Amino acid sequence: MEERRWFKSMTLYQVWPRSFADGNNDGIGDLKGILSKLDYIKSLGADAVWFSPLYVSPQNDYGYDIADYKNIDPAYGTLDDFKAVLDKAHEIGLKVVMDLVINHTSDQHEWFKKSCAKEEPYTDFYIWEKGRGKDGKKAPNNWMSTFPGSAWEYNEQRGEFYLHLYAKEQPDLNHDNPAVREAIKDVMRFWLDMGVDGFREDVITQISKRRKKDGKLPAGNPLMPASRGMEHYNNGPHIHEFLQDYRSVLAEYDDRFQVGESPMVNPKTALKYVNENRQELDMMIGFQHMEADCIIIPWVHKKFDLVKLKKVYYNWQTKLYHRAWNANYLESHDQPRIISRYGSEKLHDESGKALAVMYSFLSGTQFVYQGQEIGMTSLDYTHAPEGTDPWAQFKDISTFCVRDLMRKFGFKDAKILKTAHTAARDNARTPVQWTGGKNAGFSDVEPWFTVNPNYVGVNVEKEEADPNSLLNFYRKVIALRKKYADSVIYGKFDMYLKNDRQLFVYDKTSEDDKQKLRVVINLSEKSVPRKRVAALIPENAHEILSVYEGELGDKLRPYEARVYLLHK
């Protein structure tokens, strides 16, 4: 029988603070805005809220470049503002999860400034190497950054290169140094002492780097130009030692949890981190299920492939069952809006509901990203105002990095802009659409980023008033997850029609075999004749949820999804 710890049954709502709600009318989302919306988050049926970084930051990567781990960025408020949010959240029954970014800091962090000056004990807080060549200005090796370009940046003050797996403003910490680990543990205790309930840990499998006997980093595989060097830092040699060290901090507190995020992770790899018998991570946020319309990254776009998606879900649901725990999500601050990717903007509500059904009945913890519950969509970047620079529409550093790389490979801007609609992280970062009024109700003044023009028809206020809205459908789905938790959250997964390109059909059966649900979804814009699905709906089936009103007709309509309770 699966141990039923609190985080396993929760629905966790992710807030990207800058675009959630503006409480002081300066155009930027903040803690006062979050405080005003906590009751709304709770009304969805959510059990916890995860905040993307709120820490002091120069915002080169919008908070994932931290300059002070123990303070709140002034754009968002103060520590007292955060404590008010924390207290109110706990008062209404919401757990609070903080983003912990420890692979790298900002280059504006005091640790890095002192490391550049070789001030002890910070000299080796980061990964420094002498350059090659006569003048020492050639990078130490051929590693590439995830934001395209060399992973090395020369520092004039120190006369050496530092490693940055992401932007050059995000130098990598040296976790091989015990003093670094103690500093990170001190940060963890700071927030845990304040009362936060856990951490989401950014690119956590990359904090250990493989070194040669002389202490330097080895060259990367030249045949892997886009990710050269990754074989030496993803799932590095001391990763489990480091994670167990950090986990020991959580053991000092009552029932806290941590979820890790990792690129390039599969079920086999995940089991090395989240196996029920390990003391490392409680679950892992992976990316494989977000690759059904692309090749590894959204920018290498292709047609949505349901068969590929089903294969991924089958592997994660079956291989982790009774061994580890799943983290189920469709959107995040790193992913463009799901209706624009896997669904249909023309059949907005229908596809949004079908996708909600698809992932909400899978075993594991459910994550919902801000605006997902109302069906926010990606921006169409091909229609910039006449006479303006189309690239002025973008804010995200990774978008500009990918644009520059695609230009080098001969892609025209028209093609890049079109791809951005389904690929750019900017899509997830437009202000939340609260009303159909000025600036979508996000702020009384012009927001820091473009409001999606469809806010008049897609907003919280309008959907609150419509019992058949996507928002209210999410509430139904989340309530059913709790009502049928034995099968939905903890149950065994069985899938049918693995190679069908329209239908996604699966069962969820409780561990005692007393409760079984069948989920039937047409995840396409074309209808499916009833004769193809009739055998999948037994006579003893009792319908508990449907995208369309009324009984199943002579066909399964586009994005029609139905969930049945099967009686024995």
**What separation in angstroms does the CA of 459 have from each of 173, 360, 371, 413, 470?**
41, 22, 9, 31, 10
Question: Which helix (H) or strand (E) covers residue 521, if one does?
Answer: strand 516-522
**Checking DSSP bridges between strand 297-301 and strand 294-295, what pairing results, if any?**
antiparallel
* Residues 245 and 383 both lie in one domain: yes
Cα–Cα distance for residue pair 427/298, rounded to 1 Å: 12
* Residues 311 and 361 both lie in one domain: yes
* Residues 87 and 120 both lie in one domain: no
**What separation in angstroms does the CA of 372 have from each of 266, 346, 470, 483?**
25, 17, 9, 22
pLDDT value at 1 more than 60:
no
How many other CB atoms are there within 10 angstroms of residue 565's CB atom?
Answer: 17
Contact 242, 280 (CB under 8 A): no
pLDDT at residue 295, as a whole number: 86
* Residues 531 and 388 both lie in one domain: no
Number of domains in the chain: 3
* Look-up of token digits 């941590």: 258
Pick 224 or 252 by higher pLDDT.
252
Contact 325, 282 (CB under 8 A): yes
Measured N-to-C along each axis, helices 397-408 and 413-423 cross at an angle, to the nearest 10 degrees, of 140
CATH value at residue 381: 3.20.20.80
pLDDT at residue 37, as a whole number: 98
Closest C-alpha to 289, from 322, 332, 321, 353: 332
* Residues 292 and 395 both lie in one domain: yes
pLDDT at residue 528, as a whole number: 96
Closest C-alpha to 207, from 130, 101, 115: 101
CATH value at residue 532: 2.60.40.1180
Residues 6+ apart with CB under 8 A from 39: 92
* Residues 419 and 456 both lie in one domain: yes
Q: Please give the order of strands across the beta sheet that includes 365-369.
A: 283-285, 257-261, 198-201, 95-100, 48-51, 11-15, 365-369, 327-328
Q: What's the domain range around 65?
A: 9-103+179-470
pLDDT at residue 568, as a whole number: 64
pLDDT at residue 482, as a whole number: 97
Cα–Cα distance for residue pair 346/354, rounded to 1 Å: 14
* Residues 238 and 367 both lie in one domain: yes
Q: Is 61 noted as a catalytic residue in this protein?
A: no
pLDDT at residue 2, as a whole number: 65
Cα–Cα distance for residue pair 437/455, rounded to 1 Å: 9
* Residues 60 and 42 both lie in one domain: yes
Q: Is 543 noted as a catalytic residue in this protein?
A: no
Residues 6+ apart with CB under 8 A from 84: 31, 35
Band (pLDDT 50/70/90 cuts) for residue 422 is: confident
Residue 4 lies in a domain: no
Burial class from Cβ neighbours inside 10 Å (0-12, 13-18, 19+) for residue 409 reads exposed
pLDDT at residue 198, as a whole number: 97
Q: In this structure, what token pair is assigned to residue 1? A: 């029988």
The percentage of the chain sitting over the pLDDT mark of 90, rounded to a whole number, equals: 86
Three-point CA angle 65, 260, 395, nearest 5°: 35
Torsion sign (Cα): 104, 64, 184, 327: negative
* Residues 440 and 513 both lie in one domain: no
Residue 347 lies in a domain: yes
Residue 352 lies in a domain: yes
Q: Which of 470, 504, 535 is the last residue of a domain?
A: 470
The predicted-structure confidence for 97-118, as pLDDT tens digits, reads as follows: 999 999 999 999 999 999 999 9
* Residues 339 and 426 both lie in one domain: yes
Specify whether the backbone of 483 is left (phi greater than 0), alpha (psi in -120 to 50) or beta. Answer: alpha
Coil, strand or helix: which one is 270?
Answer: helix
* Mean confidence (pLDDT) of the chain: 95
Residue 484 lies in a domain: no
**What separation in angstroms does the CA of 534 have from each of 198, 218, 245, 547?**
45, 59, 54, 17
Q: Which of 64-68, 285-289, 392-396 has the lowest mean pLDDT?
A: 392-396
Question: Which helix (H) or strand (E) covers residue 422, if one does?
Answer: helix 413-423
CATH value at residue 165: 3.90.400.10
Question: Which helix (H) or strand (E) covers residue 307, if one does?
Answer: helix 306-319
Q: Mean pLDDT throughout 154-172?
A: 97
* Residues 295 and 265 both lie in one domain: yes
Residue 79 lies in a domain: yes
Cα–Cα distance for residue pair 183/490, rounded to 1 Å: 37
pLDDT value at 567 more than 80:
no
The predicted-structure confidence for 472-485, as pLDDT tens digits, reads as follows: 999 999 999 999 99
Q: Mean pLDDT throughout 333-344?
A: 96
Catalytically annotated residue among 261, 280, 486, 507? 261
Q: Mean pLDDT throughout 369-394?
A: 90
Residue 184 lies in a domain: yes
* Residues 204 and 272 both lie in one domain: yes
Residue 387 lies in a domain: yes
Cα torsion 420, 424, 428, 431 to 10°: value is -70
Q: Mean pLDDT throughout 242-271?
A: 95
Residues 6+ apart with CB under 8 A from 48: 7, 10, 11, 12, 13, 94, 95, 96, 97, 197
Closest C-alpha to 362, from 253, 487, 541: 487
The predicted-structure confidence for 204-221, as pLDDT tens digits, reads as follows: 999 999 999 999 999 999
Cα–Cα distance for residue pair 431/420, rounded to 1 Å: 18
Band (pLDDT 50/70/90 cuts) for residue 538 is: confident
Band (pLDDT 50/70/90 cuts) for residue 408 is: confident
Q: Mean pLDDT throughout 463-468?
A: 98
**Checking DSSP bridges between strand 55-56 and strand 128-129, what pairing results, if any?**
unpaired
Q: Which of 470, 501, 525 is the last residue of a domain?
A: 470
Q: Which of 118, 152, 172 is the last residue of a domain?
A: 172
The predicted-structure confidence for 11-46, as pLDDT tens digits, reads as follows: 999 999 999 999 999 999 999 999 999 999 999 999
The predicted-structure confidence for 493-510, as pLDDT tens digits, reads as follows: 999 999 999 999 999 999
Residue 485 lies in a domain: no
Q: Which of 60-69, 295-304, 369-378, 426-435 has the lowest mean pLDDT?
A: 295-304
Catalytically annotated residue among 197, 201, 202, 334? 202
Cis peptide before 58 (omega within 30 of 0): no
Closest C-alpha to 359, from 488, 264, 541: 488
pTM of the predicted protein model: 0.96
Q: Mean pLDDT throughout 239-260?
A: 96
Q: Which of 200-204, 369-373, 439-443, 540-544 has the lowest mean pLDDT?
A: 540-544
pLDDT at residue 233, as a whole number: 96
Cα–Cα distance for residue pair 568/251, rounded to 1 Å: 44
Q: What is the C-alpha end-to-end distance of the chain, expressed in Å?
A: 22
Contact 105, 172 (CB under 8 A): no
The percentage of the chain sitting over the pLDDT mark of 70, rounded to a whole number, equals: 99
